[in-house]
A and B are shown apart, each in its own frame.
Chain A
Amino acid sequence: DSGVTQTPKHLITATGQRVTLRCSPRSGDLSVYWYQQSLDQGLQFLIQYYNGEERAKGNILERFSAQQFPDLHSELNLSSLELGDSALYFCASSVAPGTEGTIYFGEGSWLTVV
């Protein structure tokens, strides 16, 4: 158990809908990262937050947004969902900002868009 908690574990929704994925980082970790894993694209970096502020941005679509709250949990919002958004979405956390330390992954949220 990495200490990173993601909910929900599985989610099935229809095209055009909006979903929210939630992440609680490890106790004491200030950085949160979001990744999308699909068969054809591998593990894609979406976005990173550190202590409530956006730190780095990757290949995150405009239909997607994220935030980190004062209690350090984070949410990834996916809207106007398309079939191609079906993937495993990972949250990870670390103590340090940037790339300095080990990042710990949650078990992921499986999203299926039908």
Chain B
Amino acid sequence: SQQGEEDPQALSIQEGENATMNCSYKTSINNLQWYRQNSGRGLVHLILIRSNEREKHSGRLRVTLDTSKKSSSLLITASRAADTASYFCATGRRDDKIIFGKGTRLHILP
């Protein structure tokens, strides 16, 4: 069964706007990672946040983690056409498994 569940399943926004994606999970984790996948390609690592961290930034990306609510969010600021992709959260669990959600499909409109 899937661990992470991304929300929304799909998101369309205008170029330049901010995009926010959420991820919820069920069990205790060591860390949570976000990945991007362009259609039919391999997944590319974006950012890792550890269970004792609350927020992390990387360029236009901001990730938050709330372990009490078992949720994380990924914010992409000032979106660009090249950000069109699927975004996945992956939970690093205590049983050594890295489990992915079903992803959010992000479409940036020109």
A interface with B by C-beta (< 8 Å): 2, 4, 33, 35, 42-43, 45, 48, 55-56, 58, 88, 90, 92, 97-108, 110
Interface of chain B, main secondary structure: strand
B97 close to A48 (CB less than 8 A): yes
Could you pull out 7 A-B pairs where Cβ atoms are within 8 angstroms?
A45-B97, A48-B97, A98-B30, A99-B93, A105-B43, A107-B41, A110-B40
Complex: how many Å from CA A88 to CA B96? 23
B98 at interface, CB cutoff 8 A:
yes
B26 at interface, CB cutoff 8 A:
no
Contact of A48 with B96 at beta-carbon distance under 8 Å, contacts A90-B42, A104-B45 already known: yes
Contact of A99 with B42 at beta-carbon distance under 8 Å, contacts A42-B2, A42-B103 already known: no
How many positions in chain B have a CB within 8 Å of any CB in the partner chain? Answer: 24
A56 close to B100 (CB less than 8 A): no
A102 close to B102 (CB less than 8 A): no
Which of B2, B35, B97, B102 is the one whose CB lies under 8 Å from A56? B97
Contact of A100 with B30 at beta-carbon distance under 8 Å, contacts A58-B97, A90-B42, A107-B42 already known: yes
Interface residues of B in 9-54 (CB under 8 A from A): 30-31, 33, 35, 40-45, 48
